[in-house]
Amino acid sequence: MKEQMMKKNKKNSKKGVLFLGLVIVITVLILALMPEKSSLILQTSFDYFLQMAMVFPAILILMGLFNVWVSKEFVMLHLGESSGVKGIAMAFFLGAIPTGPIFIAFPMAQALHKKGASYTNIVIFLSAWACIKIPQELLEMQFLGVKFMLVRLGMTIVFITIMGMIIDRLIRMKQII
């Protein structure tokens, strides 16, 4: 399993390099064909490069720190042990910690389900994992502004909670019938 994943990772990074090569060729062609646009294109790319360079190393380091300090076992241990508001808060928190790609979250969710965690908390955990990861929020703040990030985060938390409760009801309802 691990070997397979590593192979996939290698394949993905190869794809990334190939794609970059393609984009560079396209860029050079466009610059050659439309020299009047070249300063605008290069200036814009350079601006974004700077904006990215100012925060991205920090964000990667943060992800590395979480990776080392928070283990999968820690998440499993603390998730699904409490219910109610505390359980919901815990599901959000553990989902938002950057501990890895989404495909490791699904087997974790399955194990939690077997452990007896509610569907509400599982939905919250998976959704938080997918869309309110801390590094993502930081980049959103950088490129879309603090206000945009905070408003979207607030609403996402509210609606994910509602969704969790709805799915819990829907699945239980069908089980009774």
Partner 1 sequence: MKTVILINGLVIISLIISFSKDKMKTKKSLLIALKTLGKIAPSILSVILLIGIMYGLFSDKIALFFGQENGVIGFVSIALFGSVIHMPALLAFPLAGSFLKEGASISAVAAFITTLTMIGIVTLPLEIKTMGKKFAIYRNAISFIIALIIAVLMGVIL
In the complex, minimum distance from the CB of residue 130 to partner 1, in angstroms, rounded to a whole number: 6
| Contact predicate 108/76, CB 8 Å | yes
Answer yes or no whether residue 76 interacts with partner 1 by CB under 8 A: no
At 161, list the tokens.
């909670």
| Segment holding 22, helix H or strand E | helix 2-33
Q: Measured from the CB of residue 72, what is the shortest distance to partner 1 in angstroms?
A: 15
Site for partner 1 in 12-41 (CB under 8 A): 12-13, 16-17, 19-20, 23-24, 26-27, 30, 34, 37-38, 40-41
Size of the site for partner 1 (CB under 8 A): 81
61 is an interface residue for partner 1 by CB under 8 A? yes
Report the alpha-carbon distance of residue 119 to residue 74 in Å, rounded: 20
The C-alpha atoms of residue 132 and residue 95 are separated, in whole angstroms, by 8
Q: Are 80 and 112 in contact (CB under 8 A)?
A: yes
Query: Of residues 106-135, which lie at the interface with partner 1 (CB under 8 A)?
Result: 106-107, 109-110, 113, 119, 122-123, 126-127, 130-131, 133, 135
